Chains A and B, each alone.
Chain A
């Protein structure tokens, strides 16, 4: 398995609080991605990174921000969590022209 870890794996928080999810890779892949998975929607891209400090928006980026200060770490921040952001969040990595490898996911519940 590709070396991808996500932390925390589970989190329960309250509406209006900030939340940061971490993705860490040991593969030295250039590209990193954050997705959310919701029933009936499949996986939807939130943000992605194509290098250190190089990031761009995906299709559902509103309410989320990201940062990548090192090759191995990609952080997803919910500045003020809302109940609509209750979801399972997946990080993925790739070398750009090949398939993406996925982390184990973080289940986030916003009460």
Chain B
């Protein structure tokens, strides 16, 4: 069984401030981990993924995430928020088998204040 916890439903930061979105996972097998972003009225777009290579993963738009097995965490960060980062962010976990399915967290809405 696998699950994802994204604490809180909304995060607000000022433009230029650090973005930190938390994700904790539970998995009975070594996981693959993903962060997706969803802009209003659009589908989900992959930001970055961890697939058992480097624990620090860099993604698009300046985002990165670090896999910490001891903490079962995969937090998403960006050093300096832009207005265009305002969106909903989803963390997801899967197993590594061919028929493994994604399990999503409930999502976090990021607002960026000017």
Do A and B share a complex?
yes
Interface residue ranges, A against B (CB under 8 Å): 4, 33, 40-45, 48, 50, 58, 90, 92, 96-97, 99-105
**Cβ of A48 and Cβ of B101 under 8 Å apart?**
yes
Q: Which residues of B contact A101 (CB under 8 A)?
A: 46
* Residue from B99, B102, B107 whose CB has the most chain A CB atoms within 10 Å: B102
**Cβ of A90 and Cβ of B102 under 8 Å apart?**
no
- Count of CB-CB pairs between chains A and B under 8 Å: 42
**Cβ of A96 and Cβ of B43 under 8 Å apart?**
no
Chain B residues touching A, majority SS: loop
Interface residue ranges, B against A (CB under 8 Å): 9, 34, 36, 41-46, 49, 90, 96, 98-102, 104-107
Closest chain A CB from B59 CB (angstroms)? 11
Closest chain A CB from B102 CB (angstroms)? 6
- How long is the Cα–Cα vector from A40 to B104 in the complex, in angstroms? 11
Closest chain B CB from A43 CB (angstroms)? 4
- How long is the Cα–Cα vector from A41 to B46 in the complex, in angstroms? 19
- How long is the Cα–Cα vector from A4 to B45 in the complex, in angstroms? 13
**Cβ of A105 and Cβ of B43 under 8 Å apart?**
yes
Closest chain B CB from A29 CB (angstroms)? 13
Q: Which residues of A contact B49 (CB under 8 A)?
A: 99
- How long is the Cα–Cα vector from A105 to B39 in the complex, in angstroms? 12
Q: Which residues of A contact B101 (CB under 8 A)?
A: 33, 45, 48, 58
- How long is the Cα–Cα vector from A45 to B2 in the complex, in angstroms? 14
> Given A50, A97, A103, which contacts B43 in the complex, CB threshold below 8 Å?
A103
> Given A40, A44, A90, A97, which contacts B9 in the complex, CB threshold below 8 Å?
A40
Q: Taking A42-B104, A42-B106, A102-B43 as contacts, is the C-beta distance between A96 and B90 under 8 angstroms?
A: no
